[in-house]
Structure 1
Amino acid sequence: MSDAIWAGTVSFAGYEGAELEGYLARPLGGFSRGGVVVIHHLPGYDAGTKEIVRRFAVQGYAAVCPNLYSREGVGVSPDDQAAAVRARGGVPDEQLVGDVAGGAAYLNSLEHANGKIGVIGYCSGGRQAFLVACSLGIDAAVDCYGAFVASDPPAGHPLKVRSLLPKAPGLSCPVLGLFGEEDSFPAPAEVGVLDAELDRLGKAHEFHVYPGAGHAFFSVDRPAYRPAAAVDGWKRIFAFFGRHLAG
């Protein structure tokens, strides 16, 4: 399989028809492929996230990252967009689901799409990936250290979100969860609560907690980066999507 790809900025309709900016990468080979919606972390739609999108394309997937902060206006810097959204408590859950649904529809409109969609998110995006898996009919979801899935934020926390445990019965697809043992949000205890609830519900899931890793261990441009955990995590991600998004 050739690793030649096309990557660049696109636009598509999100929640309530809003026009969203997105970053798309797709293989140039003419073969059937699954799609992956990449949900960016709380700091926003940045260079590190775009690199992740390209990485999926090299592996044979069409991938798109919606800029969830697009509504802050054209010409506004990504940092200023992120600051404005954080000040309001984050992206509302209903809006997030609608935006990811728009990204999934865009991927399925591309030539050679096989109709299968996975979603992956990091940090706040990890929580949002789980939310999407409980709200839309997708094929696979990866939660990379998403907090407040199994608990509400502590008092005074800037994110205005709630636990997603009540939505877990609606989980539509298998979930891969990748977490750090030294993380506080989510702490291992919260991961354990979610693991136990998905066991109770009979939902397919696979969780891994990495010793010596904290939050954001996939972020190569941050001190939190942990190569051993990240390398193993990427192997698990591609194996997981390979099982659930193939042909």
Structure 2
Amino acid sequence: MNDSLSATTVRITGHGGDEVEAYVARPDGEQRRGGVVVIHHMPGYDRATKEMVRRFAELGYDAICPNLYTREAPGAAPDDAAAVARANGGVPDDRLVGDVGAAVAYLRALPTSNGRAGAIGHCSGGRQAVLAACHLDLDAAVDCYGAFVTGIVPEGFPLKVVNLVDQLPQLRAPLLGLFGEEDKFPSQEQVAELEQILTEHGKDFEFHSYEGAGHAFFAVDRPSYDVAAANDGWEKITAFYAKHLGA
């Protein structure tokens, strides 16, 4: 396996015709392959997210992460941009769908594209990956502990967010869900609600919950990091995308 890759920053035309910054990583070579849109978490378009983009390129995919905070804080450090976005209530759902749709179009326009593309997100990005899969022509979606896909948003929550219960019947792609049993958002009850809804509507999904793991168990730079859960989660993601996207 050739793990050589290249990475760069590009500009794509996002929701409403806005120019959006994006980070792209691609394997070397001209072989046909699938593409992955990485939806960054609430802390923003940061180093950890870009490392994930490169990891997907190493796995054999063209990968892209749009900077969802380009409009709020162009050129700002990730922490500062995230603070501005949080103060504004987060990324509006329609804008998220538009920006991810633009990223998908970018991947499918590449000469190496096999026409298939998926999305993945963690935390807020997990919810947004499900949202995107309800509205866009995706071939696969991965929700890593996305909060408020189901359940009730607490009163006074700083983000202007609603659950996706009314949109889940529209899910258009196979969904992989990875959750921590000790997580509160989403709780195991909320994961069970999501499973019930998807089952009732005949959706293609695969869920795994990890004993002893809490929120953000993939985050190598946080105390929440859980080695066993993260390693198994990556194995599940790799197999899922190999099946649906074809590296």
Q: 1:15 corresponds to which residue? A: 15
Q: Give the equivalent residue in structure 2 for 1:236.
A: 236
**Matching residue of 1:147:** 147
Match of 1:246 in 2: 246
Number of residues paired by the alignment?
A: 247
Q: Which runs of 4+ in 1 moved over 3 A?
A: none
Match of 2:46 in 1: 46
**8 Å contact from structure 2 (residues 73, 84) kept in 1:** no
Amino acid aligned to 1:221:
D
Residue type of the alignment partner of 2:38: V
The residue that corresponds to 2:67 in the other structure is 67
Structure 2 counterpart of 1:57: 57
Q: C-alpha displacement at 1:73, in angstroms?
A: 3.8
Deviations 1:146-189 (A, max 9, x none): 01001231001111111101111111011000000010110111
Partner secondary structure for residue 203 of structure 1 = coil
Instruction: Return the alpha-carbon distance in structure 2 between the equivalents of residues 12 and 101 of structure 1.
Output: 11
| CA deviation after TM superposition for structure 1 residue 24, in Å | 0.5
Post-superposition offset of 1:122: 0.4
User: What's the Cα RMSD here?
Assistant: 0.9
Q: Percent identity?
A: 59
TM-score, normalised via structure 2 length: 0.98
Q: Which residue of 2 aligns with 1:215?
A: 215
Inter-partner Cα distance in structure 2 for 1:104 and 1:207:
24
**SS state at 1:70 partner:** coil
Aligned equivalent of 2:224? 224
Partner SS for 1:118: strand
- The answer for the alignment partner of 2:170 in structure 1 is 170
Q: Secondary structure at the match of 2:209?
A: strand
Shift, 1:108, TM fit: 1.1
1:186 and 2:205 equivalent? Answer: no
Segments of 5+ residues of structure 1 without an aligned counterpart are none
Q: What does the per-residue CA deviation read over 1:2-38, in whole Å, with 9 as the maximum and x for residues that have no partner? A: 1110012111111011111111000011100100000
How does the TM-score come out when normalised to structure 1?
Answer: 0.98
